[in-house]
Amino acid sequence: LQSDWSLAFHGVNNDQLLCFSKTAESNAIVVVVNLDHRWKQSGWVDLDLTALGLKNNAPFIAHDLLTGAHYSWHGRGNSVALDPAVLPAHALRIEAAQPIAEILDARFG
């Protein structure tokens, strides 16, 4: 992820939020930053799923590397809310969601 050859910017319906991603091999990182240092900002990101190696409308997990939180996202449009006093940015590792059958099989054999 140290080079900028895979850098992609994604649309956001709020000018105070910036969203970009980088990919390397099977890793995809999406960063969303609140550019307003005073106020909470929220909006919808419009992710380029092809750039992230995801299928259209497939569910996926966005794992926040800053907080450890996991978000279940689906498709291109996903909402974000960032308060600069609490969390001014997300650094999200994108992970394909496992089908429920695989999860149950892994837990219960």
What would the pLDDT profile of 37-54 be if each residue is shown by its tens digit? 999 999 999 999 888 888
CA distances from 107 to 32, 56, 74, 103, 104 (A): 33, 28, 24, 6, 5
pTM of the complete model beyond 0.95: no
In the chain, the amino acid numbered 109 is G
33 closest CA partner among 52, 51, 49, 9 = 9
Mean pLDDT of the residues in the chain: 87
Q: Is the pLDDT reported for residue 104 higher than 50?
A: no
**Rounded percentage of the chain residues whose pLDDT exceeds 70:** 86
What would the pLDDT profile of 9-41 be if each residue is shown by its tens digit? 999 999 999 999 998 877 899 999 999 999 999
The 10 Å Cβ neighbour count of residue 109 is: 5
